């Protein structure tokens, strides 16, 4: 799975994007891993992640069924971290997203000290992840580089849209929706916070970074690339 690796942007644009995830390996350490996965996310909460999630049930912002009509005027837009943690019921990667390096590296240290026995990875800028490892006293085991997008790149949308859509690594956030959200923010029809929430609900494993998306929307409000 490469769902957090190929985010579009340069290292500078990842300054508020640190993804830390714990993965049980099938047949090796997945037995009785559910309590460990829950603990991993519990340990993350004090460091104020901007999103958490699991691929089976979703992130902290999820679609809702059977909304009341009044939701068009008054809708709960807050992430529900507790629902994510309580909902984990099978072995799968769980993820915590941070918008600053200090929080990510401190959490990494705490997660390492907890000695959960699960594989823990960080998806971030190459240097950002290296610095977090140094802080936590960890020697990296393996690294997977993203070489970015190539081939028929003329089929891709502009860079701001790419930055938004690739934050759901499974491709569930469409370029059309991202463009619509940029337009709505530009027109003042929705705030960046609201627009980000709409997009995040389509990301089915919670790796969408609302803080980075909000910054990109703010930048797009003033200047489209």
Q: Which stretch binds other proteins (CB under 8 A): 45-53, 99-107, 132-140, 209-217?
A: 132-140
Q: CB within 8 A of 73, min separation 6: which ones?
A: none
Binding of other proteins at residue 225 (CB under 8 A)?
A: no
Binding of other proteins at residue 215 (CB under 8 A)?
A: no
Question: In angstroms, what CA-CA distances link 134 with 105, 137, 140?
Answer: 9, 5, 9
DSSP 176: H
Q: Which stretch binds other proteins (CB under 8 A): 5-13, 46-54, 81-89, 217-225?
A: 5-13
Minimum distance, C-beta of residue 195 to other proteins, in the bound complex (Å): 9
Q: Can you read off the two tokens belonging to residue 18?
A: 């640190």
Residue where the block lists tokens 């958490």: 52
State the Cα–Cα distance between residues 213 and 219, nearest whole angstrom.
10
Q: Which stretch binds other proteins (CB under 8 A): 42-50, 98-106, 175-183, 212-220?
A: 175-183
Binding of other proteins at residue 28 (CB under 8 A)?
A: yes
Q: Which stretch binds other proteins (CB under 8 A): 42-50, 79-87, 177-185, 217-225?
A: 177-185
Helices 101-114 and 126-136: angle between axes, nearest 10 degrees: 50
According to CB under 8 A, which one of 108, 185, 196, 216 is a site residue for other proteins?
108
Binding of other proteins at residue 160 (CB under 8 A)?
A: no
Binding of other proteins at residue 129 (CB under 8 A)?
A: yes
Residue 133, number of CB atoms within 10 A of its CB: 18
Binding of other proteins at residue 110 (CB under 8 A)?
A: no
The interface with other proteins within residues 48-67 (CB under 8 A) comprises 55-56, 63-67
Question: In angstroms, what CA-CA distances link 24 with 31, 33, 41, 94, 169?
Answer: 9, 7, 14, 9, 19
Minimum distance, C-beta of residue 175 to other proteins, in the bound complex (Å): 5
68: left (phi over 0), alpha (psi -120 to 50) or beta: beta
According to CB under 8 A, which one of 118, 213, 216, 217 is a site residue for other proteins?
118
Strands 58-59 and 51-54 turn out to be: antiparallel
Q: Which stretch binds other proteins (CB under 8 A): 46-54, 80-88, 96-104, 140-148?
A: 140-148
Binding of other proteins at residue 223 (CB under 8 A)?
A: no
Query: Starting at the edge strand that comes first in sequence, how are the strands of the sheet with 18-23 ordered?
Result: 18-23, 94-98, 51-54, 58-59
Binding of other proteins at residue 122 (CB under 8 A)?
A: yes
Q: Which is nearer to other proteins, 34 or 112 (CB)?
A: 112
Binding of other proteins at residue 147 (CB under 8 A)?
A: yes
């Amino acid at each position: 799975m490469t769902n957090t690796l190929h985010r579009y942007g340069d290292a500078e644009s990842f300054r508020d994007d640190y993804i830390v995830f714990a993965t049980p390996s099938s047949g090796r350490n997945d037995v009785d891993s559910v309590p460990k996965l829950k603990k991993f996310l519990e340990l993350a909460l004090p460091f104020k992640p901007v999103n958490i999630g699991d691929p089976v049930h979703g992130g902290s912002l999820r679609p809702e069924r059977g909304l009341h009509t009044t939701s068009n005027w008054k809708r709960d837009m807050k992430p529900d971290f507790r629902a994510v943690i309580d909902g984990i019921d099978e072995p799968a990667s769980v993820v915590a997203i941070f918008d600053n390096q200090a929080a990510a590296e401190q959490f990494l240290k705490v997660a390492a000290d907890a000695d959960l026995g699960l594989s823990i990875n960080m998806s971030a800028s190459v240097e950002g992840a290296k610095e977090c490892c140094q802080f936590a006293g960890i020697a990296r085991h393996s690294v997977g580089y993203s070489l970015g997008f190539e081939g028929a790149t003329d089929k891709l949308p502009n860079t701001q849209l790419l930055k938004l859509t690739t934050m759901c690594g499974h491709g569930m956030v469409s370029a059309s929706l991202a463009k619509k959200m940029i337009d709505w923010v530009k027109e003042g029809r929705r705030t960046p916070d609201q627009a980000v929430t709409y997009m995040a609900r389509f990301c089915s494993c919670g790796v969408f970074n609302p803080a980075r998306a909000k910054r990109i929307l703010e930048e797009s409000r003033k200047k489209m690339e």
